Amino acid sequence: MGVHKRPSVFTRLKDRPYTRISYKVPSKCYVKGAPPVQTRQFVDGNASGQFEYEVALVAKRPCQVRDKCLETVRVLAKHYLEKTVSSSNYMLRIWPYPHHVLREHKTPTVATKAERISKGMRLAFGRPVGRAARVYDGQKVLSVFTTEKYLEEVKNVLRRIKAKLPSSWYIVVNKLSS
């Protein structure tokens, strides 16, 4: 069961985060039926390498990034980086964790009993349908650590990936101290 609305509905930050989930003590769990996080890996590439530069994608304004979007970005970045730069010459890191639970109020598509359900439910709470990471302006979402030799290739990969993310982003290059 996935999110049925278009993804742009969930990109704006609204009110407070809906995150009270407890797997160890289910009686303390406020959010019932939260789906699992789609993103499993947050680090890719050569994690033990010595790198000179960090190339990061930074948010221009606050937004929510769905976990499926983070997973898509990770897979695409890994694919492009494997092609242009070998796996031993980079380390990819996804920074935010999708804690926020997305809710959706189901609207029926069948005409029978549709009026009874759709009328009189103005402030409906909705059911959990997905997860998202809340990202604020100036926060890193994705970092690629690499050497000076592959700096331009990594920048091009991040330029291609920006199109897959909601909202607007910019690329920052930091020289790491040794």
List the chain pLDDT tens, one digit each, 178 residues: 555 666 666 777 877 888 888 778 878 778 888 888 988 899 999 999 999 999 999 999 999 999 999 999 999 999 999 999 998 999 999 999 999 998 887 766 665 555 555 555 666 677 888 999 999 999 999 999 999 999 999 999 999 999 999 989 999 999 998 6
What is the C-alpha separation between 41 and 43, in angstroms, rounded?
6
Domain residue spans in the chain? Answer: 38-104+124-178
Rg (CA), the chain: 19
Residues 6+ apart with CB under 8 A from 63: 11, 12, 13, 135, 166, 167
CA 151 to chain centre: 24
- To which residue do tokens 């989930």 refer? 21
DSSP category for residue 32: -
**What pLDDT does 5 receive?**
65
The Cα diameter of the chain in Å comes to: 68
Tokens of 64: 């929510």
Report the topology of domain 38-104+124-178.
Answer: Aldehyde Oxidoreductase; domain 3 (3.90.1170)
